[in-house]
Amino acid sequence: MSSALVFAWSGVLLFGLGLFGFIAHRHLLRRLLAFNIMGSGSFLVLIGLAQDGRGVDHVPHAMVITGIVVAVASTALALVVFRRWYRASGRTDLPEDT
């Protein structure tokens, strides 16, 4: 087992864990934490698998940097909407579907 593969495996576990948190939690901040953990998991899978048995590959490095920036933009947007929603409704979760 190469060290790249080790991180690919932890990426798999992180994605699964994050997915569970994303669905199970209702508090929107916790769901955002879960989203970010899922994101890190998929980045680790991307790099870990791409480099396993093949050595350093700079293309996925660039992809992950792009991915991290997209993730922080999404998180920031979500926090902006969340804070406005909290301010307008006083709730930290979403109302249930009808």
By CB under 8 A, the residues from 29 to 88 that bind another protein are 29-40, 42-88
Contacts with another protein: how many residues (CB under 8 A)?
94
User: Which residues, including other chains, have CB under 8 Å from residue 54's CB and lie 6 or more apart?
Assistant: none
What's the CA gap between 92 and 5, in Å, rounded? 38
Min dist CB 53 to another protein, Å, is: 6
**Phi-psi region for residue 93, left (φ > 0), alpha (ψ -120 to 50) or beta?**
beta
Token pair, residue 15, equals 């994605």
The radius of gyration computed from the CA coordinates of the chain, to the nearest angstrom, equals 16
96 binds another protein (CB under 8 A): no
Min dist CB 49 to another protein, Å, is: 4
Min dist CB 98 to another protein, Å, is: 9
Token pair, residue 43, equals 């980045």
Within positions 5 to 24, which residues make up the interface with another protein, using CB under 8 A? 5-10, 12-24
Min dist CB 39 to another protein, Å, is: 6
